[in-house]
Amino acid sequence: MVSRDALTPPEAKRVLRAQARARRARRSVAERAEHGRALAAAPHPALAAASTVAAFVGVGDEPVTLPLLDALRARGVRVLLPVTLPDLDLDWGEYAGPESLVAARFGLREPGGDRLGRDAVATADVVLVPAFAVDRHGHRLGQGGGCYDRALTRVRPTTPVLAVVFPDEVVDSPLPHEPHDRSVTAPLLP
């Protein structure tokens, strides 16, 4: 067995992603749904003051985010959702409820309405990003396409960026990272 320390950051990330996917595949639908309800019931303090939140729709084995998105909308918060572009950068659209979502590439669900442009994420008071794991230093392990690393270059430096993970995905050991990787402020947990 090869030590993770002997791997380059890209190799180590691939190994960790495979392990994370396997762990998530063992998580039950009920457990993911309960986690999603808990996120909506006890939102992070940064979300309480936000008027615009950039978020995402959790799909597959990801944490369920729709209850949180609906709770934010019910409070009058404008919710922006990503639209993956051919170059793997992100455009944004406004969330108008679950019925407004359309199927998209990579099994994602995106807003079906007007596009707001790549820079729309800069209007967000809080940004929620998907992750397989986040460490105590704010390093995030994403899917590997770099979509959010590109988008986060447009976020104001003072805007909280929260990684939506399950509690056991917050790790003490530093995650491998590269110069292009963008850090997050904290994990979003119930």
What would the pLDDT profile of 137-148 be if each residue is shown by its tens digit?
A: 999 998 877 889
Q: Is the pLDDT of residue 7 over 90?
A: no
Summarize the confidence of residues 91-118 as an average pLDDT: 95
Confidence of residue 106 (pLDDT cuts 50, 70, 90): confident
Closest listed residue to residue 46, CA positions, set 188, 157, 164, 153:
188
- The total number of structural domains in the chain stands at 1
Percent residues over pLDDT 90 in the chain:
81
Question: Would you state the pLDDT for residue 146?
Answer: 80
What would the pLDDT profile of 25-74 be if each residue is shown by its tens digit?
A: 999 999 999 999 999 998 789 999 999 999 999 999 999 999 999 999 99
Is pLDDT larger for residue 9 or for residue 17? 17
Helices 66-74 and 29-41: crossing angle, nearest 10°?
20
Question: Would you state the pLDDT for residue 156?
Answer: 95
Q: Which residue's entry shows tokens 């990503």?
A: 82
Q: Is the pLDDT of residue 1 over 70?
A: no
The CATH number assigned to the domain holding 65 equals 3.40.50.10420
Confidence of residue 4 (pLDDT cuts 50, 70, 90): low
Question: DSSP letters along the chain, please?
Answer: ---GGGS-HHHHHHHHHHHHHHHHHHS-HHHHHHHHHHHHHS--HHHHT-SEEE-----TTSPP-HHHHHHHHHTT-EEEEEEE-TTS-EEEEE---GGGEEE-GGG-EEE-S-B--GGGGGG-SEEEEE-SEEETTS-EE--SS-HHHHHHTTS-TTS-EEEE--GGGEESSPPP--TTPPP-SEEE--
The boundaries of the domain holding residue 170 are 4-188
- What is the model's pTM? 0.93
